[in-house]
């Protein structure tokens, strides 16, 4: 999907109604997608100044992560899903999709072969043990919840079905595989508490602007490691702008997004081989300092222009500077 079209399926709720993203938000998603698709040509540096910063860094990350999500055939998805399913140890908390579409908590009991077909026995809070065959993709989903307590007459609870949101926004992805595949490389450096709040906000949806919109959160797509747990598959890393020396990461970073002037000024020398996107707000007291640093970087020897041809026009009120680094 072209970067400029990445936000077409994403909507947000306002006054009880699902609306398309405003132009500035769609632009940021497309910008993240463009950076992801052009990274092979060398590290890029993009600075964008907005009237406000709300959700901006996460929307850029959304475009980056969506563009880099690896699609796979149905056969490959089934194989990969079974490999993941068969590797779950007994006692591992999971969520199970029931035939009626409801989602219940459960734990892995055992992996067996029944009637010549491999599968998994899962104990759920609803009806005890249930056997799920290897070909039933998306029936078992990873869970970061604690193992459920199996009371004699458990109360059935409706749990938000994040898989519907993922499937609507990324139709070429298997939601369970998407949630269980570790595909890191996107770092967001900023104020952790603000980013975590925005990741968990539930005012987003995917699909047509009608009653069948699948509601979700940006975390369902970005899967920040701090929120899913260090043992779970993740796609995004949050790094505190206030940290003096963040812990080294155990993977290559392809895109570093700096949420605010202070994050950029303080940590711009990290992740040198990654593409850098700097999100700045007009109200940021450190804005002049960050702009000076951007100007200095743009005039450095070896800098060259960065083509962003697939993007829509820059929205009114936004300013953009972009270039690509020379050969290191």
pLDDT digits (tens, 9 = 90+) for 159-201: 344 778 988 899 888 777 787 778 888 999 999 999 999 999 9
Unique residue bearing structure tokens 């155990």: 250
Domain 75-162 has CATH 3.30.450.20: no
Share of the chain above pLDDT 70, in %: 78
- Show me where the domains of the chain are located: 3-70+181-324, 75-162
pTM: 0.76
Compute the CA torsion angle 204, 207, 213, 218 (nearest 10 deg).
Answer: -20
For the segment 83-115, what is each residue's pLDDT rounded down to a tens digit? 777 788 888 888 887 776 677 888 888 888 777
Give the pLDDT confidence score for residue 156 in this predicted structure. Answer: 38
Task: Identify each DSSP E strand in the chain by its residue range.
Answer: 10-14, 17-20, 44-50, 93-97, 103-114, 117-124, 128-133, 140-142, 186-190, 204-206, 214-216, 236-240, 255-259, 275-281, 304-305, 319-324
Place of tokens 């222009």: 305
pLDDT at 150: 59
Higher pLDDT, 235 or 244: 235
């Amino acid at each position: 999907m072209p970067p400029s079209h990445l936000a077409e399926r994403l909507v947000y709720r306002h006054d009880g109604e699902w609306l398309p993203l405003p132009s500035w938000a769609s632009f940021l998603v497309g910008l993240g997608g463009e950076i992801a698709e052009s990274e092979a040509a060398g590290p890029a540096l993009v600075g964008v100044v907005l009237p406000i910063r709300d959700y901006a860094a996460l929307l850029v990350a959304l475009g980056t992560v969506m563009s880099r999500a690896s699609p796979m055939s149905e056969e490959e998805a089934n194989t990969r899903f079974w490999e993941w399913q068969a590797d779950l140890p007994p006692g591992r908390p999971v969520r199970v999709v029931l035939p009626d579409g409801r989602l219940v908590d459960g734990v892995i009991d055992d992996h067996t072969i029944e009637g010549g077909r491999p599968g998994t026995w899962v104990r759920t809070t609803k009806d005890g043990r249930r056997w799920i065959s290897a070909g039933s993709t998306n029936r078992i989903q990873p869970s970061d919840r604690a193992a459920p307590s199996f009371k004699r007459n458990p109360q059935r609870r409706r749990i938000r079905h994040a898989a519907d949101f993922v499937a609507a926004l990324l139709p070429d992805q298997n939601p369970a595989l998407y949630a269980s595949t570790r595909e890191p490389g996107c770092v967001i450096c900023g104020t952790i508490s603000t980013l975590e709040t925005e990741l968990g906000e539930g005012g987003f949806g995917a699909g047509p602007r009608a009653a069948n919109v699948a509601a979700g959160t940006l975390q369902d797509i970005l899967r920040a490691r701090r929120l899913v747990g260090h043992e779970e598959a993740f796609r995004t890393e949050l790094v505190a702008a206030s940290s003096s020396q963040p812990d080294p990461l155990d993977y290559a970073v392809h895109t570093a997004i700096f949420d605010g002037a202070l994050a950029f000024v303080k940590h711009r020398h990290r992740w040198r081989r990654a593409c850098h996107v700097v999100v700045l707000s007009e109200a940021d007291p450190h804005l002049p300092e960050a702009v000076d640093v951007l100007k200095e970087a743009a005039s450095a020897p070896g800098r060259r222009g960065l083509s962003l041809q697939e993007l829509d026009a820059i929205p009114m009120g936004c300013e953009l500077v972009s270039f690509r680094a020379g050969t290191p």
